[in-house]
Amino acid sequence: MKLKKTLTTIALAVATASLGAGSATGSTSLAQSTLRHPLYMPDASHQTASALQPPPICCAPTGPPVAGEPAPVNMAYFGGHVQVTPKIYLVFWGWGETGAFDHSTPGMPTYDPDGAAARMTAFVQAMGGTDWAGVSTQYYETVNGQNVNIQNPSNVFGGVWYDNTNPIHNNVSGLELAQEAQRAVAHFGVVDLDNSQFVIAQPQLYNEAGFNSGAGYCAWHDYTQPQYYPGVQPGISFTNMPYVLNSGSGCGENSVNTDYYAGRLDGFTIVMGHEIEETITDPGAEDVINGVNLGGWYDYSAYENGDKCAWVGYSEGLLPPSVVPGGVNAITGNDGQQYPVQSLWSNDSAGGVGYCAGAGDDLPVTG
Amino acid sequence: MKKIALLVVILAASSAAGIAVASTSSVTITTPKVNSSLAQHHNPYTAVAGTVSFANSAPATSRFYLRRDGCGTTNDNPHLSITSGTDAGDGCGLILDQVGLVGDAAPQATFTDYAASDGMPLALDGTHAINGQVSLSGGQVGLAEVDVTLEALIGGQAVTIGSGSGSALLDPTGTSTPVPFTISPNMALDGSDVQALDLRVTIHGPNVYSGFVALSGASYVDVPSYTASVNKSVSISLDDPTFSSPIPARVSGSTWSVAIPTPAVGKHTIYAESTQGFDTSSPASTTYTVKK
């Protein structure tokens, strides 16, 4: 009984951090579940925070990775689908609504004064076909006994929607983000949910409650199931993408480009890229529903391809991260522009032992 | 009440005459004339012309003061401002004890960014040197070296305008020691419309120094500029007041012109607007009829 109460208490605490306030229904649902929560990307200062680690899979989880280093041990396939031909839909929710930003920049749109939305859009349009995105092509789903590998098409951009119709507010809950993702499904007319994902990006002053609370993460991704997102269409893969510039260097500001303006937006592509690639390889977000594992690829500590390489080499300015193999670095998109990213776990690297790859500074260091 | 009525009259008159009211530029359409008509078979192209006025782009200098709101708070907010005053962060801001070699590598962590909080946009004059000074005060002796880098946001992209250094023997008896610096700007950026500006200041050198950057008007950077943007244009739009497919016109002095394929038979409206930097005028318009 005491154990049950403790678990319920922890679940409620996690519910507060993940789904946030303003959703009694969502909290009740989580309270009835176990320790399940969205899959967080901890910020650079909270990489080992126990509350932000994914729920362990089984027997002997290896514990959180050492800050600034990759998490070893290869990933395994857990039976769920992957996004073979991914399409990424960007939703800028409320960026044009009153009070979304506290500043303006001459010559920049009032709904995007720092250029963050433009940068994120350009990145998604340019990431297809890159070596970085190509890391995921070694992973697959098994359908009728056949392995079907993830593809790396040149165009993974599904579309962009500036939703200024459905009101946003500060401290939105995870459930509200899921509801926005459902509205995006309708807006874009998406029917192939398995290969689609929705990034719900929030403006400077209207962010998700857990991010605002200082829980210690930069973003997370999840998968809508009735148990966790009641009333929302099941099967939607979506990302909670806060305005990470609010967290400064903790979420990657100036992590690759050190000049004041050059590096202000670094975190947006690093963090969003982390979530996008995790969603491609694990769109089911490790959910186990009625004994069926919907998860794709992750290791036995439940770390996905992004988690295992998050903030590698990042010392918040002490050393250039790219001198460390697999460190955060800039890649060249298919538009010829440079985009900061983190590397992604590659089971094939290091002779099959696995390592972080794709950011242009693979083993041995080339970048 | 009288003023409001007068304003309405002015606006109505402007609209009727095809005159646009704008803050720094304005545009009119003189051809085709309002309610005129032309024959399509005789005029495969329609000549569109008018007048335009822009604000004068004279050489100037914009002085930005290094300022700081607090001392050791969570919101010290080091920044640049075109206005000077007493800074609450003066007397603090940099506490440094250092004995270094000449030309020693400046630790990355010791720099301070001063981002402009006002004075934007700025029309950059890249043909002249950027000068300034960082004044140091406090207990001090030795040689102080100041490295500065001026970075800007232009067209939404981060660009380095230039870097420079200065040095001065610290005066242990004086109130503060000004360390002058000069930046040779990237001349390719001449005439650019700067959206944001940041001065990164790094202090190092073979000195024993425990003090701070003197503020309250003692430290500043003078950026050569123009009084208004040098980027001036006129564009027109056919039957579309939103200018979704703008047609650029050729500007010559205070007039502009462009020829467009004569549209289909019927009544049409041509809109024109002028742009100077980030400022766009109100549109002028004229309606005319195309006949067979």
Cβ separation A105–B200 shorter than 8 A = no
Cβ separation A257–B120 shorter than 8 A = no
pLDDT at B15 over 70: no
Show the tokens assigned to A292: 């069926």
Q: Which residue of B has its CA nearest to A263?
A: B158
- Distance (Å, rounded) from C-alpha B245 to C-alpha A65? 53
pLDDT at A275 over 60: yes
Confidence tier at B175 by pLDDT (50, 70, 90)? confident
pLDDT at A272 over 90: yes
CB A132 within 8 A of CB A276: no
Q: Does A106 touch chain B (CB under 8 A)?
A: yes
List pLDDT tens digits, range B82-122: 999 999 888 665 545 444 444 444 443 468 899 999 999 99
pLDDT value of residue B208? 58
pLDDT value of residue A54? 76
What value does the mean pLDDT take over residues B260-280? 97
pLDDT at A168 over 70: yes
Closest CA to A180 of A245, A125, A111, A236: A236
User: Strands (DSSP E) along chain A, which ranges?
Assistant: 39-42, 76-77, 87-93, 140-143, 146-149, 157-163, 196-201, 217-223, 237-241, 288-289, 292-293, 297-298, 329-332, 338-341, 344-346, 355-357
Confidence tier at A261 by pLDDT (50, 70, 90)? very high
Give the closest of B113, B195, B198 to A106, CB-based.
Answer: B195
Chain A residues in contact with B158 by the CB 8 A cut-off are 257, 259-264
The residue among A246, A257, A261 with the most chain B CBs within 10 A of its CB, best to mutate, is A261
- Distance (Å, rounded) from C-alpha B127 to C-alpha B129? 7
Q: Which residue of A has its CA nearest to B192?
A: A107
Could you tell me which residues of chain B have a Cβ less than 8 Å from any Cβ in chain A?
108-109, 113, 115, 120-121, 149, 151-153, 155-156, 158, 160, 193, 195-196, 198, 200, 277-278
pLDDT value of residue A52? 83
Residue A243's contacts (CB-CB under 8 Å, 6 or more residues apart) are: A116, A201, A202, A203, A204, A207
Q: Please, which residues 11-50 of chain A have a Cβ atom closer than 8 Å to chain B?
A: none
- Distance (Å, rounded) from C-alpha A68 to C-alpha A309? 8
pLDDT value of residue A324? 86
CB A309 within 8 A of CB A318: no
Distance from CA of A200 to the nearest CA of B (A): 23
List pLDDT tens digits, range A41-58: 988 888 878 888 876 665
What value does the mean pLDDT take over residues B267-273? 98
pLDDT value of residue B9? 36
Chain B residues in contact with A106 by the CB 8 A cut-off are 120-121, 193, 195, 278
pLDDT value of residue B7? 36
Give the closest of A118, A258, A261 to B198, CB-based.
Answer: A261
Global pTM reads 0.83
What value does the mean pLDDT take over residues A246-258? 93
List pLDDT tens digits, range B119-160: 999 999 999 999 999 998 866 677 788 999 999 999 999 999
pLDDT value of residue B23? 55
Q: Angle, to 10 degrees, between the axis of helix A174-188 and the axis of helix A24-32?
A: 110
pLDDT value of residue B56? 95
Chain A residues in contact with B120 by the CB 8 A cut-off are 105-106
Cβ separation A259–B115 shorter than 8 A = no
Chain A residues in contact with B153 by the CB 8 A cut-off are 105, 261
Compute the count of residue pairs across chains A and B with CB atoms less than 8 Å apart.
Answer: 48
pLDDT value of residue A30? 34
Closest CA to B31 of B199, B292, B258, B263: B258
Cβ separation B196–A317 shorter than 8 A = no
pLDDT value of residue A24? 31
Chain B residues in contact with A259 by the CB 8 A cut-off are 149, 151, 158, 160, 198, 200
A315 backbone φψ class: left, alpha, beta (φ>0; ψ -120 to 50)? alpha
pLDDT at B61 over 70: yes
Q: Which residue of A has its CA nearest to B280?
A: A107
Chain A residues in contact with B113 by the CB 8 A cut-off are 260
pLDDT value of residue B13? 37
Lowest mean pLDDT among A20-24, B20-24, B63-67: A20-24
pLDDT at A17 over 60: no
Buried b / exposed e over B124-150, threshold 16 CB at 10 Å, is bbbebebbbbbbbbbebebbbbbbbbb
If you write DSSP's letter for every residue of B20-85 in order, what string do you get? PP-SSEEEEEEESPTTEEEEGGG-SEEEEEEEEEE----EEEEEEEEE-S-SSSTT---EEESS--
Q: Does A258 touch chain B (CB under 8 A)?
A: yes
